[in-house]
Amino acid sequence: MTDKTKTALVTGASRGLGYATALKLSEAGYHIIAVARTLGGLEELADVIEGNDKTITVAAMDVTHEQNLQQLCLSIFERWGHLDLLVHCASHAPLLTPATQVTAKDFDTTFNTNARATSRIIALTEPLLRVAPNGKAVFINDPRAGGQFFGAYAASKAAANSLVESWIKETKTLKPDVSLFTPNPMPTATRARFFPGEDKTGLSSPMAEAERLIASIS
């Protein structure tokens, strides 16, 4: 018998938009399955969510490790039998670098995290989302194609977006409901890596963007 608990898998949940989205979804009644590489941020998130008498499962893991993703999805199936919502926020932001100076290591790391992991997450979560009553998947869009010094990051995000856009069309009349969400600029660690010393006045907060994200799929 399928567990009726509303479940939400949020990647990149230890900080920024992922953290805020996990928190807001817990307030909306979802059991949060929070994924990130850093255990400290996940423990902080768990403290806040459990302090609000909500529930959370944390998984400290790198989304580029396919075996870990497989085990996570198997665990979700064995415990709940389905996944109601996926919000994929995890990404890797290399230092801004001229296209002629992108190293093979940086290029591979960026593509493995931003593109290949997206492909595997799509494949592994699709069966769980499809059996949910109203399964939904949201991927974070950060269009940087052609941006000066954004070469590796922009190319990896463009590849990931292309995968998602194909999946959107492929599931147009099927399950799950797939979408891309473009947040307004926020004072996150990723943005600080791209724009160090930027005046943060006028930037949106991760909490505000999390609310926009959730409203877009409601």
List domains and CATH numbers for the chain. Answer: 7-217 (3.40.50.720)
Which tens digits make up the pLDDT trace of 175-218? Answer: 999 999 999 999 998 898 899 888 999 999 999 999 999 999 98
What pLDDT does 1 receive?
43
Joined together, the tokens standing for residue 115 give 């593109």
The answer to whether the CB of 130 falls within 8 A of the CB of 124 is: no
Longest Cα–Cα distance of the chain, Å, equals 56
pLDDT tops 80 at residue 3: no
Cα–Cα distance measured from residue 19 to residue 14, given in angstroms and rounded to the nearest whole number: 5
Residue whose tokens read 């190319």: 155
Helices (H), the chain: 16-27, 39-51, 66-80, 104-111, 117-130, 151-170, 189-194, 206-217
What pLDDT does 139 receive?
98
What pLDDT does 57 receive?
98
| DSSP symbols for 76-130 | HHHHHS--SEEEE-----PPP--GGG--HHHHHHHHIIIIIHHHHHHHHHHHHHH
Which tens digits make up the pLDDT trace of 45-101? Answer: 999 999 999 999 999 999 999 999 999 999 999 999 999 999 999 999 998 999 999
What pLDDT does 2 receive?
56
The answer to whether the CB of 15 falls within 8 A of the CB of 92 is: no
Which tens digits make up the pLDDT trace of 129-178? Answer: 999 999 999 999 998 877 899 999 999 999 999 999 999 999 999 999 99
What pTM did the predictor assign? 0.95
